[in-house]
Structure 1
Amino acid sequence: MSRRLSPLAVVFLTVFIDLVGFGIVIPLVPLYAEAYDPSPLAFGVLMASFSAMQFLFAPLLGRLSDRIGRRPVLLFSLFGSFLSYLLFAFSGSFAGLLASRTLAGIMGANIGTAQAVIADVTPQGDRARGMGLVGMAFGLGFVFGPAIGGFAVKVSPALPGLVAAGLSLVAFVWAFFGLPETRPASAAARQTRRYFPLRAALAGLRRPVVGALLIVTLLNTTAFSNFEATFAQFARSRFGHDPSTVSWLFVLIGVTAAIVQGGLIRRLVPLLGEARLIGIGTSLLALSFAGLVLVPGNGALIALVVMTAAGSGLTNPALAGLLSRSTDAAEQGEVLGAAQSLSSLGRIIGPFWGEHVWFKWGAAGPYGTGALLEVAAVVVVLVGLRAVASPARNAS
């Protein structure tokens, strides 16, 4: 298998298979939790547990991948995902459900490690296009996953977790036989002790371009998670959409993101450069979130959903690509892990904040503040990334 397929192809298929399993489970977590009638605080802890554990453990595992290699860390995280989905399938209590999401978060280093593999095997000028493959896998995973989960849950409440576990096991076997070690020898040469995620992030903030990219990562992820957490409630209350219609809107987001990240960005990076794409993407997100505050009808809603997905699809791979190109080869795993931790921090803050202001102010709360966060991200791009804004310098 490894003779016929490049590491990029193996990573894409591995991440895609695993994310289909992730997409199966995620829409069902709140529905399963409601059966145990948890307190609002307990419900919040459950929804934040995955990202909280990613925030703590992703930099440690990223640093470990710099030390012992990408392959063992990726295999470890995939097998851990398999165990977490089994626990999800057979959890008969709220505590079991919480344990499954906590374990999944601890083992959720597969994305950061996959990005490190891409950084290892792609030339600097192709980084954003390589990172776009991970984004495409995300988009496709969130197209197929919820649909499969919706069919499986009609058969048995345990079946979605079992299907997700089976997919993670397939991804593990695929990576075991198909993925060679890609870590450069220099990555193990320089070892520091920055294991705590905020230390790695703070160390990166002291470097001009990397610091700006990490700040944009936090702002953008917080704003988008704010949107994700409240969109179903918004669509139901503003337009009366049922869960099936809301699911199709999320499918539209996934399809749009997959098209942008899997194809369009490959053409745009050489033309505009990663820094400008980040500015364009965050600007689109600011406009789409502001538009949601006053959206008049379903046609405008669909247009804003597509704009939101396109903005995210441009921003995320360009961020990851420019971040990897601005980082020494020996620190790829650590810095990308720090970025993943800041993304996880944003996914902790965003849902809590979004739900809080939704109940206080309605759509103006989450989407108005989301637009402000994206405007702040645009300002950081304009000020912090001026030195790399030209396509010629970006593509070098």
Structure 2
Amino acid sequence: MPGSSDEPLPVSAESRAILFLTVFIHLLGFGIIIPLLPYYAETYGATGFTVGLLTTSFSFSQFVFAPVWGRLGDRIGRRPILIGSLLLTGVSYIVYAAATSLTLLFVSRMLAGVAGAVLSTAQAYVADTTRPEDRTKGMGLIGAAFGMGFIFGPAIGGALSRWGYAVPAYASAALALAAAAFAFVRLPESLPPGARAGILASRRSRTLREALARPVVGVVLGLFFVATLCFSGMETILALFCQRFYGWGPHEIGYLFAYVGVVAASMQIGIVGALARRFGERALVRAGLALMGAAFVVAGIVPPLALFLAVMGAIAVASGLTTPSLSGLISIATPADEQGGILGVYQSLGSLARATGPFLAGFVFDVVGPGAPLWMAGIVLWIAALAAARLPRRSASLTARSTS
């Protein structure tokens, strides 16, 4: 029956479009804030290390709380968690805008991390409402909303910053609160009370640790952690790398990130779902990790500018293949009564990787050399591509394992 653990709840295309718009509005606000954070923090005397700690405080808070929200969503439904996360995100941006010290900036970023259940809850919503064979396509829509937020957000933030750093923060708060109101009015619940009762009564998921002990889930979580660790490290040192070797400034870097975002979002909106149905998620993960590894190695040897731009496009394509495929795999491999909890762990591991990757990349950049974080990450990604061979070939095999 609808909402059971066996059949996804049927929802309209309009509902999925509303979910997409909700996530996009949220991430648009996030994209407005993040590029300006170092400059805002510097006005209160922050050093580079302090800016790194601000980033880590957000990611660590998200790492701790994402599984909590996921398990709560399994009990009370996805909609209240999504709306509550958006409301708390809006509050965090207001604190950010009104900050008069570094301490308040830290408070605002930690609040935002605590509220960081939007993505994992949206992924659980997709899992509730799609069949396994369509799961990767659904996850691709969430990834596309993420990418589009980072395409348009930084440009809007840069334009608003001419009136001070508080104005972009208030704009982000307005967007988060608008997304919450939009979801409250238009977004239906994906997990009806009957399905929640089944989750609470389930004996298959006595503890989250038992679910994580499943071999397929463990492999997917490991691959996601490695891919996110390498990608976040690249993002951190990319501006310094391009400044040193190509003489680029902030505007060129902004255009580069927009270019990468457009390519990755295009992959996730229109291509990855069809490829997953044709070749299977395992093939896409292996191809994406191998391509990303090769691109990182080539970028690390400082190629001519034209080749470097082509390599960045390849990284975007690889990200567009890997990210939704891993999200789809983790969802397919997880029983319906554990979706929220496992997807929360999935996102919290991503937060841990985003807290660790920048520090590792910065250390290697300073100690070994500017290109070393890229080619070293490329080698790690190749190893991950080999490890992905442990995944089943088709999602049907994953579904069978998850229900056994």
Gaps of 5+ in 1: 193-198
Call closer, same or farther: CA 1:20–1:40 in 2, change over 3 Å.
closer
Partner of 1:269: 276
1:246-278 CA-to-partner distances (Å, cap 9, x unmatched) read 000000011011100111112211111111101
Equivalences for residues 1-396 of structure 1 within 5 A:
6-184=14-192, 185-191=194-200, 200=208, 203-382=210-389, 384-385=390-391, 388-390=392-394
Aligned residues: 385
Structure 2 CA distance, aligned partners of 1:362 and 1:227?
Answer: 14
The residue type paired with residue 79 of structure 2 is: R
Cα drift, residue 363 of structure 1: 2.7
Cα drift, residue 362 of structure 1: 2.2
The residue type paired with residue 84 of structure 1 is: S
Cα drift, residue 96 of structure 1: 1.4
Structure 1 CA distance, aligned partners of 2:48 and 2:97?
Answer: 23
Task: Compute the RMSD of aligned alpha carbons.
Answer: 2.0
- SS for the counterpart of 1:189 is helix
Cα drift, residue 116 of structure 1: 0.3
Call closer, same or farther: CA 1:253–1:395 in 2, change over 3 Å.
farther
Residues 270, 395 of structure 1: 8 Å contact kept: no
Call closer, same or farther: CA 1:5–1:169 in 2, change over 3 Å.
farther
Structure 2 CA distance, aligned partners of 1:6 and 1:251?
Answer: 28
Residues 226, 353 of structure 1: 8 Å contact kept: yes
Structure 1 CA distance, aligned partners of 2:267 and 2:199?
Answer: 36
Structure 1 CA distance, aligned partners of 2:61 and 2:376?
Answer: 26
1:341-382 CA-to-partner distances (Å, cap 9, x unmatched) read 111111011011011111112233311221122122112201
Structure 2 CA distance, aligned partners of 1:59 and 1:391?
Answer: 24
1:317-362 CA-to-partner distances (Å, cap 9, x unmatched) read 0011111111110000001111111111110110110111111122
Residues 70, 340 of structure 2: 8 Å contact kept: yes
Partner of 2:5: none
Structure 2 CA distance, aligned partners of 1:349 and 1:138?
Answer: 21
Cα drift, residue 129 of structure 1: 0.1
Structure 2 CA distance, aligned partners of 1:5 and 1:177?
Answer: 16
Structure 2 CA distance, aligned partners of 1:80 and 1:392?
Answer: 38
1:143-168 CA-to-partner distances (Å, cap 9, x unmatched) read 11001001000123211001111111
Call closer, same or farther: CA 1:153–1:381 in 2, change over 3 Å.
same
Residues 234, 363 of structure 1: 8 Å contact kept: yes
1:51-72 CA-to-partner distances (Å, cap 9, x unmatched) read 1111000000000000111011
Cα drift, residue 391 of structure 1: 7.4
The residue type paired with residue 6 of structure 1 is: E
Residues 224, 350 of structure 2: 8 Å contact kept: yes
Moved more, 204-213 or 310-319: 204-213
1:165-200 CA-to-partner distances (Å, cap 9, x unmatched) read 1111111111001111111533443449xxxxxx84
Call closer, same or farther: CA 1:217–1:188 in 2, change over 3 Å.
farther
Structure 2 CA distance, aligned partners of 1:390 and 1:43?
Answer: 43
Cα drift, residue 86 of structure 1: 1.0
Moved more, 33-42 or 290-299: 33-42
Residues 66, 348 of structure 2: 8 Å contact kept: yes
- SS for the counterpart of 1:140 is helix
1:97-134 CA-to-partner distances (Å, cap 9, x unmatched) read 11111110100100000000000011110000000001
The residue type paired with residue 101 of structure 1 is: R
Partner of 2:8: none
Under a length normalisation based on structure 2, what TM-score does the superposition of the two structures give? 0.91
The residue type paired with residue 169 of structure 1 is: L
Structure 1 CA distance, aligned partners of 2:156 and 2:250?
Answer: 15
Structure 2 CA distance, aligned partners of 1:4 and 1:215?
Answer: 34
Call closer, same or farther: CA 1:394–1:57 in 2, change over 3 Å.
closer
Equivalent pairs: percent with the same residue?
41
